[in-house]
Chains A and B, each alone.
Chain A
């Protein structure tokens, strides 16, 4: 009897210890990635890296200024095209939708969110690049917008639904039409959450590479306006990482660090916005 209890306790301790180890392993991976990138990439980020164009193949020096700006422009197109669609669509689901149609849209959005980004790339190539007859910032940005829309839509819907029902009823009781109640009361109350969702969705698409390979392509020079191909950080990391040139490999590390820091900051920032919100709601 006591031997059996002893064994059960032993198993208890061992298994619980193992689950702790699993957690430790997962957490350690993140810190390893961060540490390794800071160590490897941090050394190579300098003024040239941030302000110069790439040099011809095999020559040392040069930087990724055009890729940094290019990534910014791609994100901007994605934001301008994707956020309104996702946001207003989300408002429909939470505030105006019926039952079946809402369910269908929500489910489709979840599925669209799960479509591999490389498939989105094919799609953008056939509907944008081929008719326009050139690779462009616009095509790349819109490909990213397709990824952005379902994320913004679903997070907007979720945060609107979390707004207390009493707020809506109060506004309607004052005789305001529904749309006015939504715009002046419901949306502002959920604004923080929605902004968080938008920030997270932008962080997610900022690192996307696959849909850019055949849409925004790449560019050795500055990309002017919106109709020329453009360099972007993720594509540069990819091309430089698989190359044999030590200089390029170093720049790939540096670019990866820049990208990772941006993405992690956005995530941590979003979390901070949200936690302040839940605190204030608690009172």
Chain B
């Protein structure tokens, strides 16, 4: 927690040390405290309600399937069989593809921006890259359908098939839409998060670290890779986790290019489905209550997973920035 935290409170507390509640009430501070507290608490209330509602509406599915829900792979509204595995699989695979593409590029760009680029260039390029995060998801989806998918189908997938076709990931017909398309779109969408937070983590590394390494005769790259990057490791990892949480929960862009088919297949060319996408497609029309309940339970699973990953990411980022401030 920052050092200057609540010093105003402390000053005020000292002033009214005798605990003159009435005086504070008369001066209005107590009222201001209560009012603002109520608004701040509304965040807790909303989150609490969110959990309660998700729990309440997914109860039927939980009673019917229990833990089996998470490990069975049949999604069959006709016979009332609901298993979440294909969606969990699709969510994990697309996010993994996204990270495999985005992490090297993102960390590379962060190194360039933090270590090499002159400050003005670094600031303006970072701003431009952060604008990528502002592009609405549905716009990514639109470009995905009309630019990325045809590109993957006609060039990238046939190329991968002919060069790496012996791997199970690159087999089968080139659909264009599928895990790979969703992964690439997600990679672009999470890139700005990785770059901007990793850059900050790198910038927080004390100058002496670099100077020491360079003085010992390291090249610029060796100083960065062997000394600076490890120092900022936790922050970079935090940025990756944050990106992961984003990728897992991303809805529209994925829905538009994933192919919407609840299948588990090893090929990245095959169509799949993610948790967020199936909710977007089927939530308004689940014809019976168990079906709806299963969809809400998927929402709950997604909620819990992203909460956990986000929590970890925040703690990591918090840890680095604090370390950065303690050794300026």
Contacts and interface: CB of A to CB of B under 8 A. Distances in A.
Interface of A: 8-9, 11-12, 15-16, 18-23, 25-27, 29-30, 33, 36-37, 84-85, 88-93, 95-99, 102-105, 107-112, 114-123, 125-127, 146, 149-150, 153, 161, 165, 168-169, 172, 177-182, 203-204, 206-210, 213-214, 234, 237-238, 241-242, 249, 252-253, 256, 259-260, 263-264, 266-268, 271
A102 B145 contact: no
Contacts of B142: 237, 241, 252-253, 256
Interface string B22-33: 000001110111
B306 A116 contact: yes
**Residue with the greatest number of chain A CB neighbours at <10 A, chosen from B40, B108, B131:** B40
A96 B134 contact: no
A119 B188 contact: no
B171 to A, nearest CB: 27
Contact of B105 (A22, A118, A253, A263): A22
B139 A207 contact: yes
A213 B128 CA distance: 30
10 contacts: A27-B125, A91-B36, A95-B9, A96-B36, A114-B306, A115-B50, A168-B7, A210-B276, A256-B138, A266-B134
A263 B134 contact: yes
B252 A112 contact: no
Nearest to B37: A92
B219 A9 contact: yes
Nearest to A114: B310
Contact of B135 (A102, A150, A263): A263
**Chain B CB within 10 A, most for which of A92, A119, A206:** A119
A163 to B, nearest CB: 10
Counting from the closest, the 8 A-B pairs by CB-CB distance are A207-B136, A116-B249, A22-B108, A92-B36, A179-B32, A19-B112, A177-B27, A114-B310
Given A89-B39, A105-B41, A238-B252, A122 B299 contact: yes
B141 A118 contact: no
A148 B134 CA distance: 14
A238 B138 contact: yes
A105 B40 contact: yes
Given A29-B188, A115-B50, A116-B251, A206 B40 contact: no
Given A213-B283, A237-B138, A242 B302 contact: no
B195 A26 contact: yes
B135 A260 contact: yes
B28 A179 contact: yes
A97 B6 contact: yes
Contacts of A241: 138, 141-142, 145-146, 256
